[in-house]
Amino acid sequence: CLRGKAFHLRCSVSCEPTSRDRLEGSLRYDVHRQKLISQRYRYLHHFDRNWSLDMRLNLRHGFVGRKDRHLFRISMRLSY
């Protein structure tokens, strides 16, 4: 019995369908409350050696009082 303690399970997967693309995803589950508490998804694409596109989606479930329960972010990176 897990009284008063949080016990979370996390499952993550990632794959690279091409040499320029990467897909990632993860889920977190609270065993004590028997609820899915977060999901994270990411897509990363390299245009060339210097430019990349990074898109992320974070979904949080059941966090009372948090302003950013859902977050979607797109960023372009230039590396020199």
pLDDT in tens, 34-76: 889 899 999 999 998 889 999 999 988 866 555 557 788 888 8
pLDDT for res 74: 86
Closest CA to 41 of 62, 6, 15, 19: 15
pLDDT tens track for 7-30:
889 999 999 999 999 999 999 998
CA distance 24 to 11: 11
pLDDT tier at 2 (50, 70, 90 boundaries)? Answer: very low
